[in-house]
Amino acid sequence: MGTQVTNDTTARIYRPAKSATQSGAARTKAWLLEYNPRDAREIEPLMGWTSSGDMNTQVKLWFGTREEAEAYAQRKGVAYRVEEPKPVTRRVMSYSDNFKTNRIGQWTH
């Protein structure tokens, strides 16, 4: 029987939102597990770049469901926080709505 090692890393489990330039729904249905940084980033004195010795910040794990991501974190002994996705609110508007006579804001040109 193996012993489970608990570590001081924490993770965040969430479903990423669609970016403003994205028209499709790719990568918005899967759940993502990202580790939170343990140490603050440091400024490298020669070039001024920021760096960190924490390699976990580079790890992104994708899961099909929230339960799979939670099960993985529990198996690995990682403390985690789940962020529920916000409901999507969209204003349905057609192109012809721009030219309606009862439009609230009139054209300026």
The 10s digit of each residue's pLDDT in 47-91 is: 999 888 888 888 999 999 999 999 999 999 999 999 998 887 777
Domain ranges of the chain: 8-17+26-37+54-85
How many angstroms separate the Cα of 92 from the Cα of each of 24, 89, 95, 96, 97? 16, 9, 10, 12, 10
Q: What is the CATH number of domain 8-17+26-37+54-85?
A: 3.30.160.190
pTM of the entire predicted model? 0.67
Residue corresponding to tokens 């030219």? 99
Instruction: Give residue 35's Cα distance to chain centre.
Output: 11
Structure tokens at 17: 């939102």
Distance CA 73, CA 12 (A): 10
